[in-house]
Amino acid sequence: MKTRYIFLLVVSAAAAAALLPARGQGQTAPTNREASRPQAGTGPATGGVLGILRHGDWQCALPGDAGGEAFIEVPAEAFRTGTASSYESPAGNGIYLMRGTEVLFTRGPKKDQRFRVLGENTMQKLNPDGSPSKLICTRVSNGN
């Protein structure tokens, strides 16, 4: 094709895109299908890719002080992660959901507890308002 024809095609396509109403690009009122999609910020989870915690035993502790123990273990908060996003704790079994860097326990004795993943083997418990608490949980074994 000659250069002038290509130029005319590009200019006419740009003009058509600018003058015609945009469809399906979020500039018009949402359709029923678009309205049914989850909206950002409507749920307690932060969003992100679904994932799982590494399987194994998790030990939870509070920070100690310089004059005594470096940390104070909290056995009641300990748990073991397994297959299918399941966990076992001293109080019973349950299920968790991991989205992005947030873990939400959805069933069982830890139901509604939230944690922020700090690393591959470390999580920090979140208060009900979403602020970080002092409790840190660390994976201490792979469960074998």
- pLDDT at position 93, please? 96
What predicted TM-score, i.e. pTM, was given to this entire model? 0.65
Domains along the chain?
A: 3-35 (no CATH), 50-141 (2.40.128.10)
Q: What confidence tens digit (pLDDT) does each residue in 9-61 have?
A: 666 666 666 666 555 444 445 555 555 554 444 444 556 899 999 999 999 99
Rounded alpha-carbon distances, angstroms, from residue 141 to 37, 57, 76, 123, 130? 40, 5, 18, 15, 28
Coil, helix or strand for 84? Answer: coil
- pLDDT at position 87, please? 97
Average the pLDDT over 70-97 and give the result.
95
Per-residue tokens: 124: 């920090």
Contact present, 56 and 140 (Cβ < 8 Å): yes
CA distance 61 to 70: 10
Pairing of strands 92-99, 56-63: unpaired
